[in-house]
């Protein structure tokens, strides 16, 4: 608390010479009384106390400082492709700008893009989805907010995995609903099991949020498993939200299925142009929703966002064309090779990767053999060896001190260098290589 009395201390009172000064004097007097009574001003929403900052942001800040000091930092912390957006998409974006496509669009997205996404499902995935059910959003983040607004009332519960994508519970909290985290382990393939769903489902549960491949584990949900979970949730009158934002980044040559829509057309799908399509900064994603949701989601989208970015939507039309798809596909293969390279490097250092990721670009590594907690491990690694990784505590609480996430969104040479530095760290710390 600061006392607002001196004309020099606080900004408002300093305007003594303006005609406003009597009001400012009164305001400051009242605020002082308010603060003396033990209140904070301005008052911010209590929900902020539940929103924890990403530890990785502080580590990234440290990385920047080290780099400014001329140090070469190996980045395993960044959850976005290191590749630039594919050329054909950039060209389409430039054309859209030049053509003046800079206005609001329809709230659910331009019809051409909704139809193009529907065609992607028909051609690439082999499922028929009418374009009307596709909602273009401001990234998957915008989609998540729309889904929470659509599905959850205050006090409702949504089941989600721990570890999982950390922002999910913030979106749920924003609509005053309750995220219920369900611990998952490598033994359960880092996915919620049927018995977990049954055990954690309460009278307040409205549905379950799944992700395949998942962040931070890269774990995919098997087709039958998804079918069973979905049948159980639907049978209880609940819904299933499936985050498929890493859909294109699956490493099996013949995946069991390409989209949850193949398993059940009533699953609500969340997807994005950020990862496989390499468009993180364009802020564009999409949902596939039930026809019955369209009226509600249109009202929400109109009010919350007016429309997704017009330029990004026009650019994204090119994302599905063969020239761009070839580039995305080559990058997927590159990520697969990097996954193997990093996993081998970790194994050579004696680390356990309890579950080799089926997709996405993350390795969730058990560091318990170092005897350090994940955050200490991450700080020592960046400070002493300039290798940046994300502690498990950014993804939940379950076994979080025991795990760190390595993102292989970094060049091959840096992956080798990172493993080499980690080996040196272990030797210097007297831990040895397993
Ligand atoms: C699992 C998952 N869902 C959603 C998002 C949000 O993605 P965006 O808003 O960039 O589409 C991310 C971002 O990292 C993610 O990992």
Q: Is the CB of 285 under 6 A from ligand 1?
A: yes
Sign of the alpha-carbon dihedral angle for 311, 315, 317, 319: negative
pLDDT of residue 3: 54
| H helix or E strand, kind and range, residue 92 | helix 87-98
Reduce the DSSP state of residue 105 to 3 states and report it.
coil
Report the candidate in 417, 428, 251, 249 with the shortest Cα–Cα distance to residue 342.
417
pLDDT of residue 55: 86
Instruction: Quickly state the pLDDT bin for 1 (edges 50, 70, 90).
Output: very low
Q: Is the CB of 316 under 6 A from ligand 1?
A: no
pLDDT of residue 14: 45
Phi then psi for 275, rounded to 5 degrees? -95, -70
Q: Please give the radius of gyration of the chain, using alpha carbons only, rounded to the nearest integer.
A: 24
Instruction: Quickly state the pLDDT bin for 17 (edges 50, 70, 90).
Output: low
CA 140 to ligand 1: nearest atom: 11
Mutation probe of ligand 1 site: the residue of 161, 163, 274, 279 with most atoms within 8 A of C-beta: 274
| H helix or E strand, kind and range, residue 5 | none
Question: Using CA atoms, how far apart are residues 225 and 37, in angstroms rounded to an integer?
Answer: 57
Q: Is the CB of 308 under 6 A from ligand 1?
A: no
Give the range among 8-17, 73-82, 225-234, 347-356 with minimum mean pLDDT: 8-17
Question: Using CA atoms, how far apart are residues 344 and 419, in angstroms rounded to an integer?
Answer: 10
Helix 412-428 to helix 374-385 angle (10° resolution) is 110
pLDDT of residue 18: 60
Rounded distance from Cα 185 to ligand 1 centre (Å):
21
Question: Using CA atoms, how far apart are residues 213 and 357, in angstroms rounded to an integer?
Answer: 8
pLDDT of residue 304: 98
Rounded distance from Cα 241 to ligand 1 centre (Å):
14
Give the range among 48-52, 68-72, 156-160, 178-182 with minimum mean pLDDT: 48-52
Q: Is 220 exposed, middle or buried (0-12, 13-18, 19+ CB in 10 A)?
A: buried
Q: How does the average pLDDT of the chain come out, rounded?
A: 93
* Class of domain 51-79+324-428 (CATH, top level): alpha beta
Question: Using CA atoms, how far apart are residues 332 and 406, in angstroms rounded to an integer?
Answer: 17
Q: Is the CB of 313 under 6 A from ligand 1?
A: no
Give the range among 16-30, 77-91, 113-127, 238-252 with minimum mean pLDDT: 16-30
Give the range among 48-52, 120-124, 175-179, 289-293 with minimum mean pLDDT: 48-52
CA 273 to ligand 1: nearest atom: 11
Has residue 7 got a pLDDT over 50? no
Q: How many helices and strands in the chain, by DSSP H and E? A: 13, 12
Q: Is the CB of 215 under 6 A from ligand 1?
A: yes
Q: Is the CB of 359 under 6 A from ligand 1?
A: no
Contact 175, 151 (CB under 8 A): no
Contact 80, 274 (CB under 8 A): yes
Question: Using CA atoms, how far apart are residues 349 and 433, in angstroms rounded to an integer?
Answer: 5
Instruction: Quickly state the pLDDT bin for 434 (edges 50, 70, 90).
Output: low
Q: Is the CB of 78 under 6 A from ligand 1?
A: no
Report the candidate in 223, 286, 232, 227 with the shortest Cα–Cα distance to residue 254.
223
Has residue 4 got a pLDDT over 60? no
DSSP state of 174: H
- pLDDT tens digits for range 101-149: 999 999 999 999 999 999 999 999 999 999 999 999 999 999 999 999 9
Count the neighbouring beta carbons within 10 Å of the beta carbon of residue 125. 16
Whole-structure pTM over 0.85, yes or no?
Answer: yes
Has residue 6 got a pLDDT over 60? no
Domain boundaries for CATH 3.40.640.10 within the chain: 88-320
DSSP state of 138: S
Has residue 10 got a pLDDT over 50? no
Per residue in 55-89, is it b (16+ CB within 10 Å) or e — as a string?
bbeebbebbeebeeeeeebbbbbbbebbeebbebb
Give the range among 44-53, 102-111, 202-211, 214-223 with minimum mean pLDDT: 44-53
pLDDT of residue 15: 46
Reduce the DSSP state of residue 341 to 3 states and report it.
helix
Rounded distance from Cα 170 to ligand 1 centre (Å):
13
- pLDDT tens digits for range 333-391: 999 999 999 999 999 999 988 888 999 999 999 999 999 999 999 999 999 999 999 99
* Fold category of 88-320 in CATH: 3.40.640
Helix ranges restricted to H, 183-253: 194-200, 223-235
Rounded distance from Cα 406 to ligand 1 centre (Å):
16
Q: What's the whole-number mean pLDDT along residues 55-59?
A: 88
Instruction: Quickly state the pLDDT bin for 63 (edges 50, 70, 90).
Output: very high
Domain boundaries for CATH 3.90.1150.10 within the chain: 51-79+324-428
The percent of residues in the chain predicted with pLDDT above 90, rounded, is 84
Q: Is the CB of 394 under 6 A from ligand 1?
A: no
Instruction: Quickly state the pLDDT bin for 433 (edges 50, 70, 90).
Output: low
pLDDT of residue 50: 84
Has residue 432 got a pLDDT over 90? no
pLDDT of residue 168: 96
């Amino acid at each position: 608390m600061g006392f607002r009395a001196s004309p020099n201390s606080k900004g408002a009172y300093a305007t003594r010479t303006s005609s406003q000064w009597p009001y400012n004097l009164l305001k400051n007097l009242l605020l002082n009384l308010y603060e003396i009574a033990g209140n904070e001003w301005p008052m911010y929403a209590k929900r902020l106390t539940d929103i924890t900052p990403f530890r990785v942001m502080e580590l990234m800040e440290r990385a920047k400082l080290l780099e400014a000091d001329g140090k070469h930092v190996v980045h395993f912390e960044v959850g976005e492709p290191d590749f630039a957006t594919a050329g054909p998409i950039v060209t389409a974006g430039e054309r859209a700008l030049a053509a003046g496509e800079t206005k609001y669009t329809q709230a659910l997205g331009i019809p051409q893009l909704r139809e193009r996404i529907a065609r992607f499902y028909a051609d690439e995935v082999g499922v028929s989805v009418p374009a009307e059910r596709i909602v273009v959003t401001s990234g998957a983040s915008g989609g998540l907010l729309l889904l929470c607004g659509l599905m959850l009332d205050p006090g409702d519960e949504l089941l989600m995995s721990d570890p999982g994508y950390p922002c999910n519970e913030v979106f749920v909290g924003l609509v005053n609903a309750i995220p219920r985290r369900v611990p998952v382990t490598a033994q359960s393939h880092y996915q919620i099991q049927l018995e977990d769903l049954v055990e954690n489902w309460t009278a307040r549960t409205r549905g379950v949020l799944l992700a395949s491949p998942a962040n931070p584990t890269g774990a995919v949900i098997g087709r039958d498993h998804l079918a069973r979970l979905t049948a159980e949730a639907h049978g209880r009158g609940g819904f299933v939200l499936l985050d498929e934002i890493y859909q294109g980044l699956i490493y099996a040559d013949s995946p069991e299925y390409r989209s949850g829509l193949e398993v059940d057309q009533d699953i609500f799908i969340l997807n994005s142009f950020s990862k496989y399509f390499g468009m993180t900064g364009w802020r564009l994603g999409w949902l596939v929703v039930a026809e019955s949701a369209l009226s509600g989601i249109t009202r929400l989208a109109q009010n919350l966002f007016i429309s997704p970015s017009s330029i990004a939507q026009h650019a994204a039309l090119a994302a599905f064309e063969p020239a761009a798809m070839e580039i995305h596909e080559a990058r997927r293969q590159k990520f697969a090779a990097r996954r193997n390279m990093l996993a081998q490097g970790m194994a050579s250092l004696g680390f356990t990767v309890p579950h080799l990721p089926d997709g996405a670009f993350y390795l969730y590594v058990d560091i318990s053999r170092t005897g350090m907690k994940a955050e200490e491990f991450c700080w020592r690694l960046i400070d002493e060896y300039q290798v940046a990784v994300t502690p498990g505590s950014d993804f939940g609480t379950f076994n979080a001190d025991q795990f760190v996430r390595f993102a292989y969104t970094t060049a091959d040479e840096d992956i080798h260098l990172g493993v080499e530095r980690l080996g040196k760290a272990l030797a210097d710390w007297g831990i040895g290589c397993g």
